[in-house]
Structures are given as C-alpha cells and as structure tokens.
C-alpha cells in the first residue's frame, strides 16, 4: 500500500564517504521533493523536481545533489558527508505545483555518520 517508498530506513556511512538515498513513488506524481529533518526540528526543503526540471533551494549545500532518472524514482546523493549531515531525510511527492496539492511523504531514511 505504501505510495512513497524510501530505502533504506536506516543508513550508516563513514565521514566523507559518498552515500545515496533512494525514493520511489507509485502515485505518478509530477513533483518530488527532498527534505532534511534534524532531531526535534522542522523538515527543511533541500530541492525538488518538477518533472525533469531540478529546483535547488538557495541555501542547500553543494555537497547535496539529486537525480531523477524517471517519474517514479528520485535519488539524493551526498558527496562527502560530514557529521552535521546526520539527519532524517524525507522524500515527498505532489501531483502538481498547484498550491492546494498536499505533499505525500515517505517514511524517511535516518542517516548516521561515523
């Protein structure tokens, strides 16, 4: 039944070692978002894809990249993870960029950095 699926649920990587988080959706939504949520804080938007168009937030570090090879999949790449990148990473989708479209979230991937 899960419509936005994130794998894995828990990811451990080493300081400086590249890591990729994945997200897939069965909703056929046009828009996919990546958020970072640190402990006891609000989710913070990193970037989003509207179809194939990539939209980066101004304050997203260059260390964070994303790929969307097709409608269903979107990846978050962290090139050189630092200790400050330990967080929950949430993927979300919406049907369109119309403002009344709720975003549907996956269960998140909790990233730990050793």
Partner 1 sequence: GQNIDQPTEMTATEGAIVQINCTYQTSGFNGLFWYQQHAGEAPTFLSYNVLDGLEEKGRFSSFLSRSKGYSYLLLKELQMKDSASYLCAVIKAAGNKLTFGGGTRVLVKP
Residues that bind partner 1 (CB under 8 A): 4, 31, 40-45, 48, 90, 94, 96-108, 110
Nearer to partner 1, 45 or 86 (CB): 45
Q: In the complex, what is the shortest distance from the CB of residue 30 to partner 1, in angstroms, rounded to a whole number?
A: 10
- Residues 107-110: contacts with CB under 8 Å, at least 24 apart: 107/2, 107/6, 107/9, 108/6, 108/9, 108/37, 109/6, 109/7, 109/8, 109/9, 109/10, 109/11, 109/21, 110/9, 110/10, 110/11
Q: In the complex, what is the shortest distance from the CB of residue 43 to partner 1, in angstroms, rounded to a whole number?
A: 5
Nearer to partner 1, 62 or 98 (CB): 98
Q: In the complex, what is the shortest distance from the CB of residue 18 to partner 1, in angstroms, rounded to a whole number?
A: 25
* CB of 36 closer than 8 Å to CB of 110: no
Q: In the complex, what is the shortest distance from the CB of residue 16 to partner 1, in angstroms, rounded to a whole number?
A: 27
Nearer to partner 1, 68 or 79 (CB): 68
β-sheet bridge partners, residue 55:
48
* CB of 94 closer than 8 Å to CB of 80: no
Nearer to partner 1, 42 or 83 (CB): 42
């Amino acid at each position: 039944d899960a419509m936005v699926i994130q794998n894995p649920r828990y990811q451990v990587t080493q300081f400086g070692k590249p890591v990729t988080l994945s997200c897939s959706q069965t909703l056929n939504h046009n828009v996919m978002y990546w958020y970072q949520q640190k402990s006891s804080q609000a989710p913070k938007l990193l970037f989003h894809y509207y179809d194939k168009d990539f939209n980066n937030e101004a304050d997203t570090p260059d260390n964070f990249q994303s790929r969307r090879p097709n409608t269903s999949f979107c990846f978050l790449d962290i090139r050189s993870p630092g200790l400050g990148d330990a967080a929950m990473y949430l993927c979300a989708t919406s049907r369109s960029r119309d403002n009344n479209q709720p975003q549907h979230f996956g269960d998140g991937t909790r990233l730990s950095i050793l």
